[in-house]
Amino acid sequence: MLKKSARFPLRTLLSASMAAGALLLSLGATSAYAVDSEVCGYLMERYSITPYRSWGRATDDVQRVWDDSDCNHKICRYMQTKYNVIPHRSWGSLPSYLQKVWDTPEVSCNNHAM
């Protein structure tokens, strides 16, 4: 959904994506704005979300976007890409606190990473 653009830095795109999602929610859209793995990862880090454990500082709107986007599993792709994880073989540079998220049975990143 959200693609990197040569004209706009990722942070600008993420802000625009979240603004669009917030606008849809404020207009009473029947479902939240779905986001991709990059935005899910941004939300996880920005709001200190721990999948299946804690919402951290996430607002109700962010929680709805997270749930409607299946971010609990999309973050696997995000961590794999950002930290060069090779499922079942190497943690890459994935920090130990995120290794615990990766191995959470409900998240099951070895089954959701591509």
Q: Residue 21 above 90 pLDDT? A: no
Q: What is the pLDDT of residue 110?
A: 87
Which residue range is the domain that position 75 belongs to?
13-23+32-112
The packing angle between helices 60-68 and 37-47, to 10°, is 150
Q: What's the domain count of the chain?
A: 1
Q: Which whole-number Å values give the CA distances from 33 to 71, 84, 86, 89, in the listed order?
A: 12, 28, 30, 34
pLDDT digits (tens, 9 = 90+) for 27-68: 444 455 789 999 999 999 999 999 999 999 999 999 999 999
Exposure of 71 by Cβ count < 10 A (0-12 exposed, 13-18 middle, 19+ buried)?
buried
Whole-model pTM: value is 0.70
In a domain, 48, yes or no: yes
In a domain, 63, yes or no: yes
pLDDT digits (tens, 9 = 90+) for 66-111: 999 999 999 999 999 999 999 999 999 999 999 999 999 999 898 8
